[in-house]
Amino acid sequence: MVRYGEYMRPIVAIVGASAFAALLVIAASAPAAPPRSEGPLSAPPAIVYATADPNVRTRVAPKEANGRIALDDRVDRTRRVVSGLALPIEGVALPSDPSLMPNAPRDFRAGWHEGIDFPADRGTPVRAVAAGTIVRIDHDFTDWSGEEEEAALSAAVELGYTPAATLDRIRGRQVWIDQGRGIVSRYAHLDDVADLQVGAAVETGTVVGFVGSTGYPEGGPHLHLEIRVGASYLGDGLTDQALASAVASAFE
């Protein structure tokens, strides 16, 4: 009598051999895994800052329109208010033209305006809008050439935002006054500066420079005044009546 197990052993062996052969066929037809890269991991993208000042770390967002300032760098307008400023040029009122106000587009450099422009004759005295300490005053200043300016502006348009170094050169000869509480006033495009030094204390109305058109002669003689607030600036993100009200309130 032949036992059941004697029949099953050859059957199991045949089935096992067939399954192993099928696995070999599947493995041979599967695509090869890509070779493992032994190179270094790609570096994180560099942070792009909106100003060349190493003490101001305002970041721009290159993927946003015109490299708009990153949201977490903007001013908390509910707690930080600028007020009590004096006008920087005697007899010249706040502008009403939107193109002279903060946030006006600056398509020639793929950016936006961060200050208030006061058109005036070349050489007109520029006065401190508030008491403070001078932290920058450009006695030794060399303007860029027309060729350098054109190349920098073309590069900015191609990038889609204005790099920090280009923005600083556009402002030309400058004076910066630290007014405390995180507020710094910047006076740009100056033709010349007063006989003052970094660290000097100035009062409201002190003459700090004279109107010019350095940095961007195409704009003609005018004062570009920026009121920096923390990492941002007065009027950041505001438009129309809200912007006009914020600027007017600052100078009341």
The CA–CA distances, whole Å, from 181 to 80, 82, 88, 104, 184 equal 9, 10, 20, 26, 9
- SS3 of 47, please? coil
Full-model pTM: 0.75
pLDDT reported for residue 134: 97
Residue 31, judged by CB atoms within 10 A of its CB (0-12, 13-18, 19+), counts as exposed
pLDDT reported for residue 51: 62
pLDDT reported for residue 52: 58
DSSP string over 122-169: TT-EEE-SS-EEEEEE-SS--PPPHHHHHHHHHHHHHHTS--HHHHHH
In angstroms, rounded to a whole number, what is the distance separating the alpha carbons of residues 182 and 160? 29
pLDDT string in tens for the chain (252-residue length):
444 445 445 444 444 445 444 444 444 454 554 554 444 555 566 677 766 566 667 677 766 777 777 777 676 554 457 899 999 999 999 999 999 999 999 999 999 999 999 999 999 999 999 999 999 999 999 999 999 999 999 999 999 999 989 999 999 999 999 999 889 999 999 999 999 999 999 999 999 999 999 999 999 999 999 999 887 899 988 889 989 999 999 998
At 47-71, the pLDDT tens digits run 777 665 666 676 777 667 777 777 7
In angstroms, rounded to a whole number, what is the distance separating the alpha carbons of residues 195 and 171? 20
Q: Where are the domains of the chain?
A: 65-250
In angstroms, rounded to a whole number, what is the distance separating the alpha carbons of residues 51 and 46? 15
168-207 burial, b at 16+ Cβ within 10 Å, e below that, comes to bbbbbbbbbbbbeeebbbbbbbbbbbbebeeebebeebbe
Q: How are the residues of the chain apportioned to helix, strand and coil, as percentages rounded to the nearest 5?
A: 30, 20, 50
pLDDT reported for residue 236: 87
pLDDT reported for residue 187: 98
Q: Does domain 65-250 have CATH number 2.70.70.10?
A: yes
At 136-148, the pLDDT tens digits run 999 999 999 999 9
